[in-house]
Amino acid sequence: MIRISLFLVLSSLFICGAHAKSTRITSPSGQLVVELNTEKGQFGWTVRKNGKLIYTESNISLTIGNQVLGGEAAAKSVKLRTASQTITPVVPLKFSTIQDSYTEATVQFGTYQVLLRVMDNAVAHRFVTKLKGEVEVHDEQFTLVPAEGFIAHIQACKSFKTSYEESYQHKAITDWQKDGDMVTIPALLSGPADTQLLLGESDVDDYPRMFLKANDRGITTTFPKAPIEWEPKGDRSETIAKEGDYIARTQGTRSFPWRFVVVTDSRGIVEQTVPVQLARRSAIDDTGWIRPGKFSWEWWNGASPYGPDIDFKLGCNYETYCYFADFAARYGIEYILLDEGWAKSTRDPLHWNDNLRLPELIKYCNKRGVKVVLWLPWLAVHQHFDTLFKTYAEWGIPAVKIDFMDHSDQWMVNFYKRVTAEAAKHHICIDWHGSFTPAGLEQEYPNLLSYEGVRGLEMMGGCRPENTLYLPFIRNAVGPADFTPGGMFNIQPDLYHSKRPNSATMGTRCFQMALYVVLESGVQMLADNPTRYYQEDNCTRFIASVPTTWDETRCLQAEVGKYVIVAKRKGQKWFVGGITNGEQERTFHLSLDFLSEGQHRLTAYKDGINAGYQAMHYNKTEQTVTSQSTIEVKMAKNGGWAAVIE
């Protein structure tokens, strides 16, 4: 259950006419100041932090039918209010309670409003309309111009058909403009003096996802058109055959998605919770059945344990998955995932292959305290929607992984919600793969535990540490990401060569271990082979002990794309994870002043002296520490450091 306390204060009322065309909006602490211009043809705002210009936003408009809302229009009035509320997320990935305070301006234009919300670390806006019946939205625009000196960290895509798994590119805004790239969100702009701007959206409902592009005026928006006809394409997807001339057909009276810009530094990006603050609260009253956790996953490692206790033929069969269940039970891992191959056909999600003996497997797993999760292509879900989740509930399936959507138009956004809501009726959780990035649905329906939409470990040689170092600052900054970490065969990038069933990761062993603390997801996979985990018992026990939800998060040190060290608390235990890129070895000195009084035991896993060459080299150490302690942390290139303090 979510408990929310809300305190609203009407602070002032401004009527914008001939003598008042701008309004000053200040965040609760005064750090951010927005100068709102409501003059005809000039609607927009300027954002300053501690008096310094950060960015301007203009050309804010929403085109419905043949009417342009915002744009050149003059506002009739601006009303300010301040608000403060405490949010308790059902699945807390950073904090078990979040304080949400802001100053909000309601800019009235007649039959529609623009809400402008100013927090201490972000500025967000949305349109709210009161139009009759159903309307067609043809476009939504804004133009953002950052101050001088910003670099864009962006995920460019060639079309709207994308799984949001492209590598990040890093370029000046002018180069982005020249290249003409369309990019996914979130996107990050890094400026002088560690000024970071995170661009994203939240509370996207019955509407397409937003993309960004750059032109000679600045950074602006583009959206996929609404599909109106589909054609078959293989066993797991369909092709859009015809599009409408609009991006959304929706109700005329509604609130449109929030568009936000987080304004902070490297550490602040990791700690911020703006997307959660702007999202809807849970639509599920009874959430006790929603259980985030860890999954033993067979796809990445080729379902290929090879220990001396293997006396059966490996494959998508009963014996192999019982072995995975035994491994999961030994380490307290809650779930095993049956990926592609468990069903007789990818088109038929209601009949399992004969070798699997699924009812027997589920019974066996239940006796071991482990639950079975099933993989599905989205098309099979769509085609069996009326019976699928009811049937799975009867089988005792608590969660599913749904894959290959690869679209982010209005129809697909609505499909995510329709499926997630239906799954919730039957107490089934969702992990979306081949997906777009989080935009609020996971807060409204917290049985949505994670999304992919990330260049993760399944990319094998395409998952490079220098790209992964940006995830805490971009992808994970907007919500859960199923990266699937945990590889125990570790190789430095210049020596890397790998292929299933002997899958390997780039970077050091401690880099992989630290990812369980650094990355955020209600679903955390153990992607490697049970045999390797048995061989590396120390590492496996640490990984298995790391929670998937947290009470408190502190970013201890960070520089975007270079290194990050995060401490997270669950109950009385603190876990610390740090990763760094391949530019050089790095040494950090960490203050432990976040600890409570008294003595604590710190157990750490650190890169060995040779980890820069032999990436599997690590050392385990233990020491007694207090809140007065400062410890030295050394990381190899593409290295990491992981610890538990209790």
Convert 196-249 into a string of H (helix), E (strand) and C (coil): EEEEEEECCCCCCCCEEEEECCEEEEECCCCEEEEEEECCCEEEEEEECCCCEE
- Asked if residue 2 lies in contact with residue 88, where contact means CB atoms within 8 angstroms, the answer is yes
CA distance 418 to 283: 13
Banded model confidence at residue 18, pLDDT cuts 50, 70, 90: very low
Give residue-wise pLDDT tens across range 575-606: 999 999 999 999 999 999 999 999 999 999 99
Beta-bridged to residue 107, according to DSSP, are: 78, 114
- Chain centroid offset of residue 276 CA: 11
Give residue-wise pLDDT tens across range 240-276: 999 999 999 999 999 999 999 999 999 999 999 999 9
- Asked if residue 565 lies in contact with residue 558, where contact means CB atoms within 8 angstroms, the answer is yes
Q: Which has the closest alpha carbon to 397: 333, 349, 355, 438?
A: 349
The helix (H) or strand (E) run that includes residue 294 is strand 293-297
Q: Which has the closest alpha carbon to 200: 302, 88, 90, 122?
A: 122
Q: Identify whether 359 is preceded by a cis peptide bond (ω within 30 of 0).
A: no
Report whether pLDDT(641) > 80.
Answer: yes
Tokens of 492: 């430095």
| The predicted structure's pLDDT at residue 11 | 37
Q: Which has the closest alpha carbon to 189: 210, 161, 214?
A: 214
| Domains along the sequence of the chain with CATH | 5-149+201-260+273-278 (2.70.98.10), 463-520+532-646 (3.20.20.70)
Q: Which has the closest alpha carbon to 137: 65, 204, 192, 56?
A: 65
Beta-bridged to residue 625, according to DSSP, are: 600
- Chain centroid offset of residue 536 CA: 29
- Asked if residue 565 lies in contact with residue 580, where contact means CB atoms within 8 angstroms, the answer is no
Give residue-wise pLDDT tens across range 448-475: 999 999 999 999 999 999 999 999 999 9
Tokens of 276: 């959660």
Banded model confidence at residue 552, pLDDT cuts 50, 70, 90: very high
- Please provide residue 410's backbone torsions phi and psi, each rounded to the nearest 5 degrees: -60, -45
Quick one: how many helices (H) and strands (E) in the chain?
13, 41
- Asked if residue 16 lies in contact with residue 23, where contact means CB atoms within 8 angstroms, the answer is yes
Give residue-wise pLDDT tens across range 293-329: 999 999 999 999 999 999 999 999 999 999 999 999 9
| The predicted structure's pLDDT at residue 12 | 36
Q: Which has the closest alpha carbon to 221: 229, 230, 211, 231?
A: 211
**Extended strands (E) in 52-111:** 52-64, 67-70, 77-87, 98-108
Q: Which has the closest alpha carbon to 263: 362, 403, 156, 119?
A: 119
Q: Which has the closest alpha carbon to 634: 601, 600, 610, 616?
A: 610
> Per-residue pLDDT averaged across 558-573, rounded?
98
Tokens of 597: 């009084």
Residues in the chain: 646
Report whether pLDDT(2) > 80.
Answer: no
| The predicted structure's pLDDT at residue 213 | 98
Tokens 């419905």 sit on residue: 64
Give residue-wise pLDDT tens across range 190-227: 999 999 999 999 999 999 999 999 999 999 999 999 99
Q: Which has the closest alpha carbon to 575: 544, 597, 599?
A: 544
Whole-angstrom CA distances from 21 to 27, 76, 232, 301, 592 are: 20, 10, 54, 62, 50
Q: Which has the closest alpha carbon to 566: 586, 544, 588?
A: 588
Report whether pLDDT(6) > 80.
Answer: no
| The predicted structure's pLDDT at residue 21 | 77
